Structure 1
Amino acid sequence: MTTPPLISRYPALPWVGPFALFMLWLALAPSLGIPQPWESVFRVGVLTAVLLTLSRDIVFSLRVRHAAASIGLGLAVCALWVLPDQLMPGWRDHWLFQNQITGKVTNSIPVAELSDPLVMTLRVLRAAILVPIIEELFWRGWLPRWLVNNNWQQVPLGTFNVVAFVATAVLFASEHGPFWEVGLACGLIYNWWMWKTRSLGDLVLVHAVTNAALSGFVLLTGQYAYWM
């Protein structure tokens, strides 16, 4: 299959582009003023379209090599996310987690959306399917290799040096605001699993299981702050 000219010129685009669009949407969504459920429909539609066009070859080449272990690890990481706050009430109120840099823990979902089955379904699908693919393309597929060598296409998947391993985890943690400490632990675990398996498909699976289990926890307990 012939590589499109845009991707030939910018080979990092399939790895970085969906994540850049995802983050841009998060930043701009509040000011766009698109009513629900159309905002959710449009967001899922655009992100899916980008993955199936810009990143199609990578997405369709993903293979899972260690399904059982990846599923188990994903469930363990989900437990890691929620246990500090469940075992130690008030843990998240400490200034280390809520401050001017990390932000505040808030329920980011308007009450009206909670009663809309379509919006909630799309949110779960986004968290459990789209986000794992988009984030893993960037965080474990491209960034560590680029940090190892600017000529990143020559660096095999799952290759890390100390700087790439630590920096990727720290930056991943910064994406999660007041939950940065569990985000850091999650980033380190995901990096380790990528190094061990050399399989981006397994990283997408473990991330998907984590997010799907966390979504289930949120829906069962009503602790919507975990849906950032």
Structure 2
Amino acid sequence: MENKAWPRILPFALFMAVIGLEESLRFMDGRGWVVLGDVTFALLYPLKPLAALIALIMLRRAYTELRWADLKEPGSTLLSIVVGLVVFVLWINMDWSFGALPAPPGYDPSIFSHDTMRLTMILIRVASAVLVVPVMEELFWRSFLLRYIINPEFSKVPLGTFTLSSFLVCAVLFGLAHHFILAGIMAAMAYSWLLYRTKSLAQAILAHAVTNLALAAYVLQTGQWYFW
């Protein structure tokens, strides 16, 4: 594997590693081997975006394919916003139960009785979903994996190169990494299509961020925490 792969893998891997730690602790808590409680698990959440953010900052010079100036193109940026909103609307309105795992408890900040702590955890959750996760995931899925499936020397593959196999494999794997599997596949297809159309990773990140921001607003308004 190319050395260029690791800067795109590491932030995602660290995020997933903290999830693995959390799931291990939940397993032990369920067996009564440790006693932690919902508040403790909620407090673990900031470790995920923090680990990914530190890696992204340290490795930022490696992301030469990420051009934020692309967002100055009004046509493509408007398209990205529309795609992000369409993904959000489909995510909350379509019946994805066929491809869903058992209902998760979600991230419910109401378990914090202190107002300041509750607000702080909400802000961390929203900032993570909008500012960290889209960058981390698009670097891994759309910049690295989508090209790696085409050619293990992925840096030789122009960003936004389409092949049916890479499109479908990446979409399925992205879906499997999410609770609502079919919804995840739908979102991956939308973000990949946007990348093919704009040839811009920044635009894919923007669409992903718009989806997550709209979803965060919806969850906070409705209290449907399982979407979080």
TM range, smaller chain: 0.7 to 0.9
Partner of 1:6: none
Matches of 1:69 and 1:168, distance apart in 2 = 22
User: TM-score, normalised on structure 1?
Assistant: 0.81
Query: Contact 1:41–1:122 (CA<8 Å) still a contact in 2?
Result: yes
Query: Contact 1:141–1:200 (CA<8 Å) still a contact in 2?
Result: yes
Aligned pair 1:79/2:89, yes or no? Answer: yes
Partner of 2:129: 127
The percentage of aligned residue pairs carrying the same residue is 32
The amino acid across from 1:47 in the alignment is A
Partner of 2:9: 16
User: TM-score, normalised on structure 2?
Assistant: 0.81
Query: Contact 2:178–2:184 (CA<8 Å) still a contact in 1?
Result: yes
* Equivalent in 44, 53, 57 of residue 58 of structure 2: 53
Matches of 1:136 and 1:190, distance apart in 2 = 9
The amino acid across from 2:106 in the alignment is S
| Alignment gaps of 5+ in structure 2 | 27-35
Q: Secondary structure at the match of 1:11?
A: helix
Partner of 2:30: none
TM-fit CA distance, 1:160: 2.3
TM-fit CA distance, 1:166: 0.5
Shift of the 174–40 alpha-carbon distance from structure 1 to 2, 3 Å rule, reads closer
Aligned pair 1:108/2:106, yes or no? Answer: yes
Query: Contact 1:113–1:120 (CA<8 Å) still a contact in 2?
Result: no
Q: Secondary structure at the match of 2:160?
A: coil
Matches of 2:162 and 2:151, distance apart in 1 = 10
Shift of the 109–61 alpha-carbon distance from structure 1 to 2, 3 Å rule, reads closer
| Alignment gaps of 5+ in structure 1 | 1-8, 85-90
TM-fit CA distance, 1:141: 0.4
